[in-house]
Amino acid sequence: MTAHLSCLRPLASVLRWLALLPAAGSVLAAAPQPPIPYSENGEVRAFVGEMQDRHGFDAAALLQTFAEIHPLNAVIKAVMPPKDPQVRSWSNYRARFVEASRIDAGLRFWQEHQAMLTAAGRDSGVPEEYIVAIIGIESIYGRHMGRFNTFAALATLAFDYPAINPLTDADRKALFRGELEALLLLARETRRDPLSYRGSYAGALGLPQFLPSSIRNFARDGDDDGRIDLETNPADAIASVANFLKRHGWEPGGTVAVPALVSGDGHNELLAEGILPRRSVGELAGHGVTTAESSPLIANAPAALIDLVTPGQATEYRLGLRNFYVITRYNRSSFYAAAVHDLAQTLRAERSVRTTPRETDY
């Protein structure tokens, strides 16, 4: 009898412990739900129908591809503005790109691919240092090309773009929808799985960080091997960057930007006009803007006043000419174009110093 009761006591304790546990249904209810695949999204289904109608895609097969992806929270987070926005600083921005490790990497890249850079510069009219600078700023010569699944990232921005600015959200969503369309066309044209691409959170790919539409429109086979590979082939990246700038109106031999001085308040009207070159140096002088540069190319060329603001410091002003504007077609930011220009000039100067024989070498 005693033995029998001793066996019941542990059993009773177990029953009391089980009674404290939540019911099985509540445990299941608390379990995280798997993300809903994009194949179940109504907008996606409409998009698939459009791809079938416009481009002859197999709707069922494309829906199956969408079934393998879902919204990427990391992409939504990346595209959101910071909760505590920092005041834009040209000094800080420039320091990120015109710095020792990137300069050293750029000089090595230039030396390793000199022949291709020479050919690309000759064919496009774009100086070699600007090609090198852009690839350096975009991916540090292939070190940082992004690890997001490009198809999923573009789908996220096309169909789940977050509410940021009512004036621009619809346009941004449409832009990424167009890039998603371009990615699918690119994948079909190159017979590649659309799920195989990896790039930035915004869908940029390869050493030059081209969006899919830019790859289709501007990418070039730089070494004539019959294929374009911007992810592992520097020759293709070099030729493609040069072609992009050429096709957007690069002026061979033209100036990019020069320092400017301003006086009075007349220059504020020029800043409001934006970065498209509109006015001659003479017209700019009438608004209190001057430059020490006296080249006829500058005197007769339209320019725009560019302000590079650093909080707590005097604003740096430059005149941006046609080629400065062309660089902003790559990234529509005056900070970006100014950083490309400064890195290019630094690379050119440093290369000259490092390759010039010293007296002690004789």
d(CA 61, CA 205) in angstroms, rounded, equals: 24
Q: Which of the 8 DSSP states describes residue 287?
A: T
Residue type, position 63, single letter: L
Tell me how many degrees the CA angle 98-104-107 measures, rounded to the nearest 5: 100
Separation between Cα atoms, residue 107 and residue 84, nearest integer Å: 37
Catalytic residue among 129, 138, 179, 181: 138
Find, among 190, 171, 169, the residue nearest to 179 by Cα.
171
Tokens of 270: 């020029």
Whose CA is closest to 208, among 276, 109, 111, 118?
Answer: 109
> Per-residue DSSP letters for 206-265?
TTTTB-HHHHHHH---TT-SSS--TTT-HHHHHHHHHHHHHHTT--TT---EEEEEE-SS
Q: Choose among 156, 144, 133, 178: nearest CA to 79.
A: 156
Q: Is 138 known to be catalytic?
A: yes
Asked if 303 contacts 284 with a C-beta cutoff of 8 angstroms, the reply is yes
Report d(CA 290, CA 288) in Å as an integer. 7
Active site residues: 138
